[in-house]
Amino acid sequence: MSSPRRAQPEPAAPAALPEVHLDWRGPQHWSDRARECRHCGVTTPLRDDEGKPAHKVCAERALAAQQADLADRYRGAAPAARAQR
Ligand SMILES: [Zn+2]
């Protein structure tokens, strides 16, 4: 005879990422040479604040994920798995 099943708690929905908008209109964010984005690997002429190749949208997503993880840690929760791409 099987035991009655307990109701399993619903997994927490992934928290929405905060919106991050970078201003990369300056010439320091552009290069004549396309190189692989540090986040996704697709080539881009864009450079981040450290001069490393990165798409603006990839950098914005990475910063948003960092902010969300920090907020989770501040609240004492384990950082949620978030899509990076
Ligand atoms: Zn990218």
**Distance from the CA of 37 to the center of ligand 1, in angstroms?**
5
How does pLDDT run across 3-27, given as a tens digit for each residue? Answer: 556 666 665 555 677 888 999 999 9
Domain assignment present for residue 34? The answer is yes
Domain assignment present for residue 83? The answer is no
**Distance from the CA of 44 to the center of ligand 1, in angstroms?**
7
Closest CA to 68 of 14, 24, 31, 3: 14
- For ligand 1, a single-atom ion, the residues with CB < 5 A are 37, 39-40, 55, 58
Contact 54, 38 (CB under 8 A): yes
Domain assignment present for residue 17? The answer is no
59 Ramachandran zone, left/alpha/beta (phi>0; psi -120 to 50):
alpha
Domains in the chain, number: 1
How does pLDDT run across 63-84, given as a tens digit for each residue? Answer: 999 999 998 888 887 777 665 5
Domain that residue 68 falls in: 27-75
State the alpha helices, DSSP H only, in 11-84: 56-75
**Distance from the CA of 18 to the center of ligand 1, in angstroms?**
18
Domain assignment present for residue 62? The answer is yes
